[in-house]
Copies of this chain bind each other. A is one copy, B any other.
């Protein structure tokens, strides 16, 4: 019955996958020309392809859309050769997630004319280890979205991470597709450690995945209400009548994220809490955490030739060159064709600063 309901529910569901990130914190593996969503960081195929295959049991390729920038659109087409070309939605320049998702919603509405169709928005560069639970969560999210809510997917926190935003739940909603659902009390930016510890201890806070479900009509109402200027520009990009799309309208938009522009002002927000074995792979430390290590806790990437003496809890990723280490604990060593990175795992977040430094020194070729 649940499955039948699931299939029926997903008849008018569209999935959008945000694939526009630059992934600088995984430099030097992740590059401007091929950021992390296009890399085989975990497993044998890219994270984008993993993301598509993860939803294919629910939604056919015809209703999966990839949102990316012009420089990466060819890479999307290459990695997803069966994706209809119209399903690669190109944002002319980075404007944050709100204009991007708003334009996708408007274009889907223009194509379908169906305000009650559901749009599920995912990210192309996350890992989900429990794929069945993930699809259960999407079934629930779609069902709750049909009931008029803007739905978020929350992850039951495993530890007090300070690098994520949190979603605080309020009153329960009726369960949907056998999943708990709650109203949202508020969104919280990345908290300091003490607050993060309180969040986890309370049992009422979830990591914000940035995965959403809403009806096309519902989200466009929110844009009209909360971001009327952005919405006006988007309407010029995707006009209702026969006027030609004014692609220059995009440049007039002030960048804003969906969290700040829509979520923090929206009514009827809901959250589906779940435990997915989820990671945003927000840097080398997160990648080390998600990948299985050997007896010494070392994660040695496939195809990397590593010889270590007294080397433990390290992430070693290389090419066909030999990487030899002695007396290393908790270090990241990443060797690529033209660049090498060495740093302690505890400094993994500073790779962004390093990338800025490379840019400041004019070493653009390495970015």
Chain A residues engaging chain B, CB cutoff 8 angstroms: 27-28, 307, 309-310, 318, 321-328, 331, 333, 335, 337-344, 346-347, 350-351, 353-354, 357-358, 361, 363, 366
Interface of A is mostly: mixed
- The interface residues of chain B lying within 8 Å CB-to-CB of A307 are 354, 357-358, 361, 363
Which residue, of A325, A326, A331, has the highest number of chain B Cβ atoms within 10 A?
A: A326
CB of A363 within 8 A of CB of B309, answer no
CA distance A198 to B251 in the complex (A): 76
CA distance A8 to B138 in the complex (A): 95
CB of A327 within 8 A of CB of B350, answer yes
CA distance A326 to B351 in the complex (A): 8
A102 to chain B, nearest CB (A): 37
CB of B327 within 8 A of CB of A340, answer no
A349 to chain B, nearest CB (A): 10
Q: Which single member of B318, B328, B338, B346 contacts A322 (CB below 8 Å)?
A: B338
- The interface residues of chain B lying within 8 Å CB-to-CB of A327 are 343-344, 346-347, 350
A325 to chain B, nearest CB (A): 5
With A307-B363, A363-B307: A340-B358 Cβ-Cβ less than 8 Å: no
- The interface residues of chain B lying within 8 Å CB-to-CB of A366 are 322
Minimum CB distance partner of A346 in chain B = B327
Q: Which single member of B27, B340, B343, B361 contacts A340 (CB below 8 Å)?
A: B340
CA distance A337 to B341 in the complex (A): 16
With A309-B350, A327-B350, A361-B307: A322-B340 Cβ-Cβ less than 8 Å: yes
- The interface residues of chain B lying within 8 Å CB-to-CB of A347 are 310, 326-327
- The interface residues of chain B lying within 8 Å CB-to-CB of A310 are 347, 350
A-B contact pairs, 8 of them (CB 8 A): A309-B350, A309-B357, A321-B339, A325-B343, A326-B344, A326-B354, A333-B342, A342-B342
- The interface residues of chain B lying within 8 Å CB-to-CB of A353 are 309, 326
CA distance A340 to B319 in the complex (A): 11
A345 to chain B, nearest CB (A): 10
CA distance A361 to B309 in the complex (A): 13
Which residue, of A328, A331, A343, A357, has the highest number of chain B Cβ atoms within 10 A?
A: A343
CA distance A322 to B344 in the complex (A): 18
CA distance A322 to B322 in the complex (A): 17
- The interface residues of chain B lying within 8 Å CB-to-CB of A326 are 341-344, 347, 350-351, 353-354
Minimum CB distance partner of A339 in chain B = B322
- The interface residues of chain B lying within 8 Å CB-to-CB of A351 are 326
Minimum CB distance partner of A345 in chain B = B327
